[in-house]
């Protein structure tokens, strides 16, 4: 299990370095001082509190780091749940706790970094601990490691506030651990689509 996880991280690291080399032109060595602080207000509805910062590397390239934590709780009505599932259960609450980290490099298609359309390459780690309370307490730890590419656009809402829309393909590898012993992987690499929106403040 340890060697498999290490191999996945090496693959992601190589992919991210390759993305940096492909997206950031060596000729554009002059860095800008502009950076933008960002937040995901829509994630609050899903119990995700996420923010980040984007820093210009050159006239048309930047790097972004986002991170945050997940905290959500769901209280269940046992009788309603039994009626819905058609089985007897004593499950009465589920609690989610965890974090997410995502580094990303961007290559803007416009003449200025931080404005207009861009291509991005990212890696992503999301680790969640799910506590299920029944007649006993069960703990599941679920870790997703992945990466992908996005096509996005950054636009001005006001002089200082900007919006950031993105969408693109991603892959991830998921490992779940129950208690302290039983672990299993949910397939090698699971494909998917990543999309979303961030709001930023230009400094």
Q: Kindly report the pTM of this predicted structure.
A: 0.73
Count structural domains, the chain: 1
Tell me the residue range of the domain where 29 lies: 2-202
pLDDT (tens digit per residue) in 102-125: 999 999 998 888 999 999 999 999
- Given this model, what pLDDT does residue 72 score? 80
The CATH number covering residue 130 comes to 2.40.160.20
pLDDT tens digit at each of 203 positions of the chain: 444 544 554 555 455 445 444 444 333 333 344 789 999 988 887 788 999 999 999 989 999 999 999 888 766 655 554 454 555 555 567 788 999 999 999 999 988 889 999 999 999 999 998 887 765 567 888 899 999 999 999 999 998 999 999 999 999 998 888 776 666 666 678 999 999 999 999 98
Q: Quote the CA–CA distance of 39 and 107 in Å, as a whole number.
A: 21
Q: Quote the CA–CA distance of 122 and 7 in Å, as a whole number.
A: 18
- Given this model, what pLDDT does residue 10 score? 53
Nearest to 90 by CA among 41, 56, 132, 30: 132
pLDDT (tens digit per residue) in 166-201: 999 999 998 888 776 666 666 678 999 999 999 999
- Given this model, what pLDDT does residue 45 score? 79
- Given this model, what pLDDT does residue 52 score? 96
Nearest to 146 by CA among 188, 89, 200, 91: 188
């Amino acid at each position: 299990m340890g060697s498999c996880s290490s191999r996945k991280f090496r693959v992601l690291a190589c992919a991210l370095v390759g993305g940096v080399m492909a997206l950031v032109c060596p000729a554009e060595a002059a860095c800008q001082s502009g950076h933008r602080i960002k937040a995901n207000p829509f994630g609050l509805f899903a119990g995700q509190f996420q923010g980040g910062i984007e820093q210009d590397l050159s006239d048309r390239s930047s790097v972004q780091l986002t991170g945050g934590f997940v905290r959500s709780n769901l209280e269940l009505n046992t009788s309603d749940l039994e009626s819905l599932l058609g089985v007897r259960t004593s499950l009465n609450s589920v609690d989610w706790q965890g974090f997410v980290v995502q580094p990303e490099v961007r290559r803007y298609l416009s003449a200025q970094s931080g404005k207009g359309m861009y291509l991005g390459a990212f890696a992503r780690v999301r680790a969640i601990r799910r506590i299920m309370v029944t007649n006993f307490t069960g703990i599941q730890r679920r870790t997703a490691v992945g990466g992908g590419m996005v096509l996005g656009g950054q636009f001005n809402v006001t002089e200082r506030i900007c919006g950031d829309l993105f969408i693109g393909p991603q892959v991830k590898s998921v490992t779940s651990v129950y208690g302290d012993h039983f672990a299993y992987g949910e397939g090698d690499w699971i494909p998917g689509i990543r999309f979303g929106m961030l709001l930023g403040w230009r400094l």
